[in-house]
Structure 1
Amino acid sequence: MPSKDCSSSTMFSRRHLALLAVLALSTLSVASANSSPVSTEEAMALLTRPAAAASVSRPRNDINYHGIVPSFLAKHIYGGINRQEQVEDDSIEVQRERNSHSRIRINVDQYPPKDQIPDVNHPQVKAWVKEIDWSKVPNIPVAPGLADAPRFPNCPPDDQVNPDHCWWSCDSCLQPEDVVSCPTEGHWGLTYDDGPSVASKDIVKYLDERSLSATFFIVGSRVLEYPDILKEQVASGHHIAMHTWSHGGLTTLTNEQIVAEIKWTEKIIRDVTGLTMKYVRPPYGDCDNRVREILRQMGYINVIWSQGWDTNDWRLPQKTIKTPDIISTFKNALDNIALVKSRETGAQEGPITLEHDLTLQTVDLSKSLISIGMEKGLKPMNLAQCLSDPTPYQGKSKGSAAVGQAPKSGGNNTTSDGNNTKSDGNNTKSPGSSNNSKKVPAGGAPTQDPASAIDTKGNSAATSLQSSLRAIALGGIFAVASYFLAL
């Protein structure tokens, strides 16, 4: 009897050992898989995984504005969280961790710190500054910022605003080249600011399902976090444009700082997509003639939005506005759409709206607004389509002519001449061509910048290694389990 008990005890122990071996090898298999590139869906799951218990009280990264709004606005979002506490979770180490789960590798050390004005003493910035003809830039003083938000312009009293400066933020002054509406009646310039973010994936999916295209004004600092999402936006046929590196009011920055904000954003986006942007929306629409001239010399066209068509959706996360209020205002704008007119001829034009793709709240709202606008006969489209611009990117950016060929509306993928060509240029198909054409980015195959900080080499080898490790681990699991259970 004692020996039988001992044998039973031994078998019990061996079975437990077998189970432990299976669990250990399964863990090894998962670990080896996570050490290699993962799919975008898996990467997003990792990026949005619950925070550790020690930091549960911190705001989620997908709704973290980090300098996107002035501190006097951000404090409403975070309930008075100190700015320094706010950014602790966005250290270089956290950026690297995010990159480890991305199919696109970014060496964050080769770019400025996230959400900070880039260093103007950097050799690259000095080289960019030398490319500007400063004799053409108006001598307009740098604007003061608010006491609680130094990068948000502080307007002087109305009678002290110099009309020669044409400072849009303070006197709504526009220059003829400023874009504020679509030239064609019924066209709707659909634009989103402040991404890319996790929420961007949701609105892109929604737009793609309806064969619609939008313009996304990109913040360079967000590309450090979500390069994959930016590339997906381009691959889906959407138009991307400039929204600076750290989202500060440009009139509050020095000439050199403006150049640094634009050119670093330009570089990281070109490194990821191969495209050089052509359109720029200054954060908060903040521009004067000094800002305009610097932007013009860097090849950019200034874009604001139609008066009365700012959705104010950015106030949703801080709970200073409610969705029904925004929808009511939007419907009122639709009822008064006749007010959207050409500044030169007075002819009826189409609106350009201001929305944001930084949070799921604003994205969900946008879906409702798109449905309401289309029911009223508006045709949503990206900015290049709205302006009928056949070259919506600068220079020799591949595929730049395709994005702006023709508007898409309500799932109709035909151009104005009746060809079966997707208006963003991604799935270009000549009549009679196969419907099984592989989708390619709007920019074509991105050109590889020799100085690029993006490391996309070795992905095939990594994928092969991942499969091999999984096969070895799986074989080990069955071998060990069979050995112990056979004893």
Structure 2
Amino acid sequence: MNGDLYPPKDTIPDVSHPQVKQWVSEIDWSKVPQIPVAGGLPDSPHFPNCPPDDEVDKRSCWWSCDGCVQPSDVVTCPNQSDWGLTYDDGPSVASREMMKYLNSNKISATFFIVGSRVLEYPDILREQVAQGHHIAMHTWSHAGLTTLTNEQIVAEVRWSEKIIRDATGLTVKYIRPPYGDVDNRVREILRQMGYVTVIWTLGWDTNDWRVAMNQIQPDEIMQTFENALDNRELIRSSTGGPGGPVTLEHDLTDGTIYLSKQIIPMGMNRGLRPMSLDRCLNDASPYQKGSLTDQKANGGAGNHTSLATKPGITTPGNGAADYNGSTAQDTKNEQGLSMSKSEAKAMIHNGAQTMGYTVMGLAMVASLMMAL
């Protein structure tokens, strides 16, 4: 990829760029809720800093600070036995080992791509597509989106969209906001750009990246995953019935790949069927533009799971939504775990205390490990 055609790696793109101005002009700003830009942590300005509980605006439906999800958010799989297998922050050199394992076991996965990493590893991204995996977006610089201005959000998404399309010919449809940081302002901007917001099932974040940061031992992650498996009956789909998990992992280092290789058979032995997010959602059109025909013809992982319609499962869309009038809902009986909002919020906050990292920093750790 010609780096001169894109913003600098791991930085929030310049909103004064003519291309960004054009993208910004395409948004109907009258439909975007007037929610203030969130503040960040002192040592990590683009990781959201949650205010006290009584200062959180319930109308904003701010997942990071209130555990709030909207019906349009993807948090679980509709089928109790389906497992949405997802990886964030790549592509990286380590991605190839993960892809090799998945392909040997006839498993497809969803890779949430950071635009800056495509500048470094476009060939690996193309290999993921050729092998039939599902590609989605994780923004350009991995900044918390609620900490960005409206124009910065557009720039982060559109530049990532462009470099992925330039490398693969596909315009992605699903986006996971970094740290799951989303509120109704962010949701509406993403919706107008054609995106479906994806978070993950509470309790099913593996925290695998913490091993690379020497913050946790692999055995602790395995035990946490075992505990999640023991409590699968708590998962609720968007319709309120039993649902399947959407996990959060990373294809960044040998360590995170090793953990995934251990976790996948653990889940399969308990009756879960790992698959890409589009398959767990039964979405036969998983991209805004582009076709899966070429992927299937290549005989990759995309051939291993049928896209046949599953009874009772609906595909998420990006139609009109009223984010201006929404209020925060208790997560009980909604998508995710059947727990109270306070319990959900505590879980999010506990993770947030150790999540104030940048993709650039973790990518540097990955590069150093690969060099050893």
For the aligned pair, the TM-score class normalised by the smaller chain equals 0.7 to 0.9
Shift of 1:378: 0.4
1:134 is the counterpart of 2:29: yes
For 1:415, what is the secondary structure of its paired residue?
coil
Normalising to structure 2: TM-score of the pair? 0.80
What residue ranges of structure 2 are gaps of 5+ in the alignment? 310-372
Equivalent of 1:185, from 75, 80, 87? 80
Q: Which residue of 2 aligns with 1:394?
A: 288
Instruction: Judge conservation of contact 2:279–2:307 (CA < 8 Å) in 1.
Output: no
In the alignment, structure 1 residue 372 sits paired with structure 2 residue 266 = yes
Q: Does the CA contact (< 8 Å) of 2:12 and 2:140 recur in 1?
A: yes
Residue 231 of structure 2 corresponds to 336
Secondary structure, in 3 states, of the residue corresponding to 1:367?
helix
Q: Which residue of 1 aligns with 2:325?
A: none
Structure 1 residue 342 displacement after superposition: 2.2
Contact 1:391 1:402 in 2 (8 A): no
- Tell me if structure 1 keeps the 8 A contact 2:76–2:246: yes
Aligned AA for 2:206? T
Q: Where do 4+ consecutive residues of structure 1 move more than 6 Å?
A: 400-403
Q: What is the aligned-residue identity percentage?
A: 67
Higher relative contact order (Cα pairs below 8 Å, separated by 6+ residues): 2
Q: Is the 8 A contact 2:61 2:70 kept in 1?
A: yes
Structure 1 residue 402, shift from structure 2 partner: 7.6
* Structure 1 residue 347 displacement after superposition: 1.1
2:56 & 2:252 partners in 1: Cα distance?
Answer: 33
Q: Which residue of structure 1 lines up, in the alignment, with residue 102 of structure 2?
A: 207
Q: Which residue, out of 315, 326, 329, partners 2:221?
A: 326
Shift of 1:360: 1.0
Quote the Cα distance in structure 1 between the aligned partners of 2:27 and 2:306.
39
SS at match of 2:112: strand
CA contact (8 A) 1:392 1:401 kept: no
The code of the aligned residue for 1:373 comes to G
Alignment of 1:27-426 (within 5 A): 106-344=1-239, 346-395=240-289, 397-399=290-292, 413=304, 415=306
Residue in structure 2 matched with residue 14 of structure 1 by the alignment: none
- Structure 1: gaps spanning 5 or more residues: 1-105, 419-487
Q: C-alpha deviations, 1:178-228, integer Å up to 9, x for none?
A: 000000110000000000000000000000011100000000000000000
Aligned amino acid, residue 209 of structure 2 = W
> Cα RMSD between the aligned structures?
1.8
Q: Deviations over 1:448-471 (max 9, x none)?
A: xxxxxxxxxxxxxxxxxxxxxxxx
Structure with the higher helix share, 1 or 2: 1
One-letter amino acid matched to 2:136: A
Using the TM superposition, give the Cα deviation of residue 415 of structure 1 relative to its aligned residue in structure 2, in angstroms.
3.1
Q: Is residue 110–residue 277 contact of structure 2 (8 Å, CA) maintained in 1? A: yes
Structure possessing the higher radius of gyration over alpha carbons? 1
What is the count of residue pairs matched by the alignment?
305
TM-score relative to the length of structure 1: 0.61
Residues 132 and 295 of structure 2 are in contact (CA less than 8 Å); yes or no, is this contact kept in structure 1?
no
Q: 1:401 to 1:186 in 2, by over 3 A?
A: farther
